[in-house]
Structure 1
Amino acid sequence: MGEFYRVIVTRVKDGDTFVGTLIIPVPTLQMKMHLEEQVFRLNTADTPELSKHEPLAEEARDYTIEHLLDKEILVQFSKKDAFGRWLTDVYLDGDLNNRFNDLLLKEGLAHIYKKGE
């Protein structure tokens, strides 16, 4: 898995996809870079699609809005998917035992995503 970064969530697209500003520390310059409008997709958690009007899609989106929107979160990612989204594990309150991806699964608002589904 990749390194940990901070993200300020600026928009939620649906239950498993959000947009935000990625904050990257640059220690050698003693500064941080801010990459705006980055798109993030939750690793392993797949929520119903809003565009297809699937059951629980709005509830999943609202749950994600409640927990992530306008907050600075801790993320870990290793690569982008075929759509250019960062595949991401999200940790709430900086707590590595409080993974948001798992909360969606426990709430019944997502199922485990397997590549190719």
Structure 2
Amino acid sequence: MHLGIDLGGTKIEIIVLDNTNQVQHRKRIASPRDSYQQTLSALVDLVEDAEDKVGQRCSVGVGIPGSLSPSTGLVQNANSTWLIGHPLKQDLENCLQREIKIANDADCFTLSEACDG
């Protein structure tokens, strides 16, 4: 199963899709604005809760309102300013003990529209 997270300035939404792209779990919460640590904790809690609901460990992808610096791995150019300068990918990987894919949310949306309509 595949788990996707849309991390935004006002909300965080998580969805779990099975191999036929059927929704198995979905949840939306308010973003903990202005707190990187609370945002990180919320992401970890959402992933753990979703995996408990579907009964298995999933691959994890996160769309963020910014990008990761190729040279430092730190979040840059995010309109959710409390993310800027933090190693979100590394921190999530450490907390969840697996590789995490992170991409710009607009790029994720464009790819989804191209593939899924």
Question: Is the structural similarity TM-score above 0.5?
Answer: no
Q: Name the one with the larger strand percent.
A: 1
Q: Name the one with the larger helix percent.
A: 2
TM-score normalized by the length of structure 2: 0.27
